[in-house]
Structure 1
Amino acid sequence: GYKYIADRMLSTPVLIGGEESGGIGYGNHIPERDALLSALYILEAIAQSGLDLSDLYKRLQERTSYSSAYDRIDLHLSGMEVRSRLLEQLQNQPMTKIAGQSVVDCQTTDGYKFRLANDSWLLIRFSGTEPVLRLYCEAATPEQVRQTLNWAKDWADNVEG
Structure 2
Amino acid sequence: MDNDNKLKAFLDSLSFRDLTITVELLITGYILYFYATELLSASTVMRADPSWVSGLLLKVIVISIIVSIAGRALLVFVSDDNVDKPLDERQRFIALAGLKPAYWVLQSGVCIAIFQYTAEAHGWPQGATIAVPFLALHILVVSFLLAELVGYGTQLVQAHKGASYG
Select the structure with the greater relative contact order (CA < 8 A; seq sep ≥ 6).
Answer: 2
Q: Which has the higher helix share?
A: 2
Q: Which has the higher strand share?
A: 1
What TM-score, normalized by structure 2, do the two folds share?
Answer: 0.28
What TM-score, normalized by structure 1, do the two folds share?
Answer: 0.29
